[in-house]
Structure 1
Amino acid sequence: MKKMTQAIALSTIVLGALSPTLQVIAETPKIAESPAVTTELSSENVEVQADSNDIASGTFGTAPWRIDSSGVLHIGAGTFSDTPVNQNGLRMSPWYQWSKQITSIRFEGDVIAGNILSNLFDYLANVTHIEGIEKLNTSHTTEMERVFGGCASLTSLDLTSWDVSNVTTIFSFLNGATNMESLNVSNWNVSNMIAITYAFSEMPKLKELDLSQWRLTPLYSAQGVFMGDSSLEALDLSGFDMTQLENSWITGYEMSRFFQNTTSLKVLKLSDKFRFWVTDSVNVELPEISANNQYTGKWQNVGTGSLTHPQGADVWTSKQLTQSFNANAKNDTYVWQPYTISAGDVTVKYVDTKGTAIADDVIKSGNIGEAYTTEQKDIPGYTFKEVQGDPSGKFTDQPQTVTYVYEETKDQSTVIVHDSELTVGEAWQPEDNFDSATDYYGNTVPFSEINVEGQVDTAKAGTYKVTYTRFVPNLFSNSENQGTYSAVATVTVKEAQPVKGGDITAKYVDTEGLEISDDVVKVGNIGEAYTTEQKDIPGYTFKEVQGNASGKFTAQAQTVTYVYTKNELPHVSGTVLVKYIDTNGHSLSEDIVKSGAIGEGYSTEKKDIKGYTFKEVRGNVAGRYTNQVQTVTYVYTKNKSISQVTATPQGEEKDPSASAKQKFLPKAGENEGMTLISFILGLTFLALALFGLTLRIKKIKK
């Protein structure tokens, strides 16, 4: 067993020294022309259907896979076989030869991993995203070497869904994932894991890695585990038991390069089971810390302090830490020791108003720049008055003083009440007017110790006096807290103030719901009475009322509708005469006579009269016919003319022939004469034509 162990360790060292990268070949690759391969394990699984444009396709175990034309590796449901071994003895995935063409991975069905998952996605340097990784069941897997080795384009990976309880080795698991920024393996059960060489190496962009829940006991190799993780800031290795590592054939190589180039690592949590396997020539290569104005260049255990203010006694360089820890291994956290300078003390004084000390001083010490706080004390017989100086602040190179000033306690007995007003009907109880009470020393006295005299009748308006009393008997002749303390509260009960109610709107309509008279709106306060009135409306007879004609105002608006029937007056009509005149009263257009049944509505219209501008209307433009003749007069103003030329309105085109046409148009009265003359001449010509035709016919017969 010892020889076998040494052989395994030696092979691991050699592989690690040469390169943490391995190459693998495909198991059953098929070209694009391969027929479609589908599989179904459950209703949730998606079939992987080969396409004529696919780069490649095949089957890994029973799980179909294909690489589409855009570089997506699709993996369908099934069971993976162990990653196959090529003729050179190296494991290679089925899709390795197309590794440069694959840009992303998508699990489209549930997949059960084989015992050996090593090199599954090795050297897929262009893969930026893996979708459905939680569908890969790793519960039976024991070897997971270089599963994501060389995945240089991956930036994040969450593997918390993986069951790795049977995994024994994660050699170079993520080695070379140079763009990885977010990795989550926090909940892994690593109880069977014995080889972790290069597991998380060469991820220079990874700042955080939570391993606080890991309970790990490596047996064979733990080289270069965090090598090259130059951005990693903190590690919790308190669950790493490094006591069981077997000695390699070259002492010190068991953990060689464990922390190489972890130049940002500032916080390291260890346990009494952690060990640094080092020699003078071979060690874990924990980087030395550069001393500056923030850090001393050494590690310090936190002890009873904090991460920012460690208080431990171990103050070591990186080399000293790796060489000295084993001798006194402890459960503690080591941090970069901050550079501090002792500051002047802060003295806290407690005095009365005369400056006499009434309590011991408190001295606070610290380093320059650190924060301090001081506390106000409760001092019997005294009451705090003020603080002089800064009660909190930062230590400086100068001593500081903070002084708390107190006044000697005097009788602070009080009973405080307040006056109030109520409305008739409101509830009241004595506590409502009580504010507070204190005893001699200012301590709060509960209401239960207060005697109340007087009552308030909230059913009746009036002014009521209520006395609140605290009586302290003189039980001891030297007692300071004695006597009677009281206060009187005045409670005024007033009648309830009126509240405006919703309006009452009375409407007057005909049987068709048309308004026949103006609405009447009534206003008042809630609870007040209202009444509405029926109107006498000419041409109509009251029929009914809808709603409450009388009642009380409420918070809501109410409507009362009076309905009327139109009177039948078939032989009675009214007349409206519409006139159009100028400002001198001369008619400009024919009058219009409108007539209709009394009570019916009428409307009149304004005319556009050439040469005149509308000025005003006299009378009701619209209304209802009555038994009286009504007149509506539209008055116009004559337009002014300039040199007998009528201006063309702006924006209208002027007809060039308008003046010529106007020139030859007959004047009023000429048109009838011309028509008569034309008619007589026509008859004359017709008679002459008939006479000539008769003579011609007689001549022909002869």
Structure 2
Amino acid sequence: MDHRKIVKMTASMLLLMNASQQSITTFADHLDSGQMTEELVNSTIEEPTENNLMETAENEAMDEQQTSETPESPATAPSEVPTEPTTETTPDGNAELEQSTVDSTVPTTVEQDVTDVSSEPVIPDPNAKTEDVEIQATEDQLASGVFGSSPWRIDQEGILYIDAGTLGETTSAARAPWFPHRSLIKKIVLTGPVVANTESLGLFFDMNQLTTIENLSNLDTSQVTNMDYFFAWCQQLTSLDLTAFDTQNVRSMNYMFNGVSSVSTLDLSNFNTANVTEMSHIFYGMSGLTSLDLSSFNTMNVSNMSYMFYDCSALTTLDVTGFQTANVTNFSHMFRGCSGLAQLDLSSFVTSQATEMSFMFHGCSGLQALDVTHFDTSNVMYMHYMFHGCSGLTELDVSRFDTTNVTSMYYMFFGCSGLTALDVTNFSTTNVTTMSFMFAECLNLEAIDVSGFDTENLRFMRGMFRNCKKITELDLSHFKTGKVQLQQEMFAGTTSLSKISLGIQFYSLTDTNIPELLATEEHTGYWQNVGSGTEDVPLGEYVLSSSSLMTTYQNSMADTYVWQPIASESIRAMDSTIYVGDSWEPIDNFVLATDPNGESIPFDESMVTGTVDTTTAGVYPVTYTNGSASQQINVTVEESQETLKVTDSTIIVGDAWTPSDNFVSATDKTGEAVAFDENMVSGEVDTTQVGEYKITYTFGRLSREITVTVIASQEAIKAIDSRIHTGDVWHPSDNFISATNRAGDTLPFDESMVSGTVDTGRTGNFIITYTNGEASQKITVTVVENRETIQAKNGSIYVGDKWAPSDQFVSATNKDGEMIVFDESMVSGTVDTTKAGDYPLTYTNGRATEEVVVVVKENGETIVTKDLQLYIGDTWDPSDGFVSATNREGFTLAFDQNMVSGDVDTNKEGTYTITYTNGSVSETSQVTVSKRGTAGGNANTGGGNTQQKKTANTSATSKKQVQGNAAKNLPKTGEIRSSATVLGFALVGGAIGTYIYKKKKNRKD
């Protein structure tokens, strides 16, 4: 079925379903982007709709399509649409309609807007089913029901109340239950907390009478992932409070505010867009929007920004400097229709992944400047309409664009009427198939260089330069038009065009609308090919009007065609610049001369008046005359800036030498640097012989002589023999002394100088060669047996003993077997003489080592003494105070007089301290001498009370051992105190007492 009929049927169906005009128009746009669709929609509804964006020329093509439906040659119909078929979702939300790129019934050539329909989001279907338990109407309500778990109702005032609960799912196939009544809803009130569904596509879609949403903060959007069409086409809505929106889980925002044309400000500062991948059409059609803060937007995951700000015509500023676009592939239509923007900073844009940039700045007529020099366009395929209508731009730098993959460029710069220059010389156009109207309406463009365009695959170039009124010449000599199918109006309106170059592969000028040339005092109204002449005096055989040129031209006539000058006597000469000392002849400046018939005549000296003094700088006018024609030219004589700098040099015998080695620089007469040339040099250098050689350098009138001195080489190297021992580390630098290069400069050691190795694992003589250029020296490294030794011994000491590392050292020898003295550095390990234990020690001498152990033993030395009580006159012996003693091993020792220090005077009352010493331990004995009887007891020599004392060497701590009772309980010397003695005294006393008692009693009796 013809797709126009499909559109008409769809429009009628939408009207029957009470769809808004905008929904009809937008739906139609998705089916057909041409004027035809717009006309069909306009014919169905009464209200005017937005004019289609095609210009008049394209509209004419659309009309041509509609009026030329014939069954002839359907296979030959060319089209400027993608060659692959595209698919769209049909109104039932399920079936797909496959569209051919060209209607097979239309043979006439058609140029259409290239759009990737398959990449557009699905448009909500007005006929899709609604999710609702039951819809009821009462006297005070138009409709009511429950959506999900949220009750809802629409009252007679057109207010939609949504009560607390969780909303159901809305998709392209399942609408909200109030959707059929959307044209009745003027206000929405959320009466309590309402949780939006994960799938909330078009929740408030197409509410064309809605003006207010109350308590929008009650809407919990934290679970929503799809917000496509959320408020789309709510064109009466004047404000939106989105400060409570939680968008952290949202993945898609396509068409979210599409057509919300009455809202002037939109605060999205709290939006979290970190997970959003789709933003296509998000602000599409918000024509009333005057300010938009996107500073919070995180776009790092967004891949589609097409149509993002389409028709935001009231915006005067837009800050997108925070946008991260590294993943964006589609920028088409992004800023289309933003006619109020004067500036647009895209410095943060990364476009390396982009494939689509068509319509990107279409209609941005207010832009005064636009910097796209950093754009990476290496993957872009579509650039048509990219800068269409950017009439405010006075300059545009696209010289760095990589257009290798671009296939469409039609309307690319259409209407950029403020541009006076445009550099497209770097454009690669090998894959481009369409350039129609590419530069059309660039009214002030003075020149455009397309000489490098590769048009081998070009099919459409209709209106390419239309109305480029200031362009005077076009070089199309490299254009290949073998595949071109449309070229109408290619040169229409190029009223200043007076030169056009056509190549052998430019096959036809039919219908290109070359403006007719006017006859003037200097020119005819015809084109003439240059032929063997010049552009000023063309001599070609073809003299044609514009219409004749278009109808008769074929590629065999390829040449440069110019506006034919009126034939008359002529002469042409040219200015020139020469330098003091140059020669000059009048013929040097002569170009050509013609007779009254336009025939060329040769130069003659009589044509010239004026002279040139080549010895003095100045400007000299010279007049060339041919009959009635004359021309004055200037010969400028300037001081020559020729320079030549060369330098002397010294080289070594055997060095390579070339004349360029001594050349420094040269400049020509104009001061431009000149490269060295072998022809400048005369003379030779014999690099095999010492000597001085004169070389002459000549440039122009300058000559310089230099000297190349060849000297003998001073290359040398010195190294020494050495003697090392097995196991030593050897490095080649150990034997290196010095080296000099051929100039005598000192050289550092380098491993590359050495050949030969030394095996330090065995004895022997090793020959090593040191080489520096041509100098070399052999040395011998002698490796002898290593006789290093060391001997040490185990040992044992006791806690508290003194110890030194040398105690265990026995002997050591050096590498040559010579005895060496002990050194503290030979020993590793320590001995703690305060603590018993085994202490390992390592004695090292070079590579010889020996391990020993020093055992520290506990000291068993003890001594036990006792205090003594003596009386004046008693005998005292040192052994009296000695009790016992043990040696280090704990064996008992007999008393020895050497153990005692101190003396006792038994004739003198007092207390005497006697010290008993056994090795490292000592103990005292207190000897008390008193008068007899004062101590209470009988005197016995060597007797008396005693108190034993014991001292043992236990970790160097002395202890006393006390034996028996306290001193006051001990018997004194000569005293016998025992229980038997006391009992004896008691019995005797008792007997005496009994005897005395009985005797007294007998007396009384």
Normalising by structure 2, report the TM-score: 0.30
Rg larger in 1 or in 2?
A: 2
Q: Which has the higher contact order (CA 8 A, sep 6+)?
A: 1
Structure with greater proportional strand content? 1
